[in-house]
Amino acid sequence: MLESVLLILVAVWLLVLLSQNRRNKNFPPGPRTIPFIGNLLELNLENPIVDLDRLTKRYGNVYSFSIGPRPGIVINGVQAFKEAFINKAAAFSGRPNDQYANRVVRQNDGVPGLILSDNTSAWREHRRFGLMTLRNFGLGKNSMEKRILTETQYTIKILEQSHGKPMDPYQLFHKATSNVMCQILFARRFDYEDETINFFLGFFHEINKAVNGRWGLIYDCVPLVRYLPLPFQRVFKTVQTAKEKYLKAVVENNKTRIPGQPRHVIDCYLDELDERGDDGSSFSEKQLCAFLFDLHVAGADTTANTLLFGFLYLTAYPKVQERCQEEIDKVLDGKDQASFEDRDQMPYVQAVLHEIQRVGNIAPLSVFHCATRDSELMGYSIPKGTIVIPNLHSVLSEEGQWKYPHEFNPENFLNEKGEFVKPEAFIPFSLGPRMCLGENLARMELFLIMVTLLRRFKFIWPEDAGEPDFAPSFGIVQSPKPFFMKVILREKNCG
Read off φ and ψ for residue 486, nearest 5 degrees.
Answer: -90, 135
254 binds ligand NAG (CB under 6 A): yes
List the one residue from 53, 272, 285, 329 that touches ligand NAG (CB under 6 A).
Answer: 285
Q: Measured at the alpha carbon of residue 43, what is the angle toward residues 40 and 48, in degrees to the nearest 5?
A: 130
Selection from ligand NAG, ligand HEM, none that 90 binds (CB < 5 to 8 A by kind) is: ligand NAG
429 binds ligand HEM (CB under 6 A): yes
Q: Which one of 89-97, 228-236, 397-405, 413-421 is the stretch in contact with ligand NAG (CB under 6 A)?
A: 89-97
195 to 234: interface string for ligand NAG, x by CB under 6 A = ----------------------------------------
What is the number of the residue whose Cβ is closest to ligand HEM?
Answer: 438
131 binds ligand NAG (CB under 6 A): no
- How many residues does the structure list for the chain? 495
What does each C-alpha distance from 115 to 199, 367, 385 come to in angstroms?
22, 8, 18
Number of residues this chain uses to bind ligand HEM (CB under 6 A): 24
295 binds ligand HEM (CB under 6 A): yes
The dihedral of CA 94, 98, 102, 106: what is its sign?
positive
List the one residue from 265, 328, 436, 476 that touches ligand HEM (CB under 6 A).
Answer: 436
Q: Measured at the alpha carbon of residue 219, what is the angle toward residues 216 and 220, in degrees to the nearest 5?
A: 90
382 binds ligand HEM (CB under 6 A): no
Q: Give the nearer residue to ligand NAG in terms of CB position, either 41 or 90.
A: 90
List the one residue from 89, 158, 421, 465 that touches ligand NAG (CB under 6 A).
Answer: 89
Selection from ligand HEM, ligand NAG, none that 251 binds (CB < 5 to 8 A by kind) is: ligand NAG
Q: Which one of 15-23, 88-96, 99-107, 221-229 is the stretch in contact with ligand NAG (CB under 6 A)?
A: 88-96
The dihedral of CA 425, 78, 369, 91: what is its sign?
positive
Are 303 and 450 spatial neighbours (Cβ–Cβ below 8 Å)? Answer: no
Coil vs helix vs strand at 320: helix
Q: Give the nearer residue to ligand NAG in terms of CB position, either 207 or 289.
A: 289
Q: How far apart are CA 200 and CA 381, in angstroms?
A: 43
Closest among 68, 70, 71, 39 to 55, alpha carbons compared: 39
289 binds ligand HEM (CB under 6 A): no
Q: How far apart are CA 401 and CA 193, in angstroms?
A: 45
Which DSSP string do the residues of 205-246 spell out, in sequence order?
Answer: HHHHHHHHSHHHHHHHH-GGGTTS--THHHHHHHHHHHHHHH
Q: How far apart are CA 173 and CA 190, in angstroms?
A: 13
Are 235 and 210 spatial neighbours (Cβ–Cβ below 8 Å)? Answer: yes
289 binds ligand NAG (CB under 6 A): no
74 binds ligand NAG (CB under 6 A): no
Selection from ligand HEM, ligand NAG, none that 299 binds (CB < 5 to 8 A by kind) is: ligand HEM
Rounded (10°) angle between helices 285-316 and 439-456: 40
Contact residues for ligand NAG, defined by CB under 6 A: 89-90, 93, 119, 250-251, 254, 285, 433
Contact residues for ligand HEM, defined by CB under 6 A: 114-115, 127, 294-295, 298-299, 302-303, 306, 362-363, 366-367, 428-430, 434-438, 441-442
